[in-house]
Structure 1
Amino acid sequence: MIILHDICIYTVTVKITLLTGIALSRTYKENSLTSLITVGLLNASSAGLLIYMALVDLLSADFMGSKLQSSIKLQLNSYVAVLLGVGGMSLMTK
């Protein structure tokens, strides 16, 4: 029942946002201050949500597991791997 509810909400919201995007595309000015601020805020929100999902939802399950909790060496290796991954992604962004 919950899945059907989610599907219905997703279907309706996609249609509304598509229609809104089509309606606003005629008035959109790519280099205006408002457009640049809006795009920047939306990009920052998306990046923040992705970081939250990666750190809190995905990595926390791994880091709180009994296998990782029982081994200091495995914990250190895991932290180094996460930091190297974050550093690599930052370099790709640069």
Structure 2
Amino acid sequence: MAFYESDEKLSKLSNYLKFIANETDAKHVYAFDLWVSATENYKRITANGLVDKIIPIHGDAMDMPFAEDYFDSIVSVQEIYSTKE
């Protein structure tokens, strides 16, 4: 079951999340999404058995509420806006 069942391109995004959650040493994966609510993503995450690994957050990736240097790495998939340098 894909996280985004109705949109094939967005289904690929869920595959990235599943891969990172299952195939890396990441303790937690933060699924930051501007277009899908955290509640809706949580339902999909739970349905896929990944509630212990993936944390859904609704918000703008340009304004994430995390301390500088909080993450070891960040993966951006299907970003449609340009970022400031």
Taking structure 2 as the reference length, the TM-score comes to 0.28
Structure number with greater CO (CA < 8 Å, separation at least 6) is: 2
Taking structure 1 as the reference length, the TM-score comes to 0.26
Higher normalized strand content (fraction of residues): 2
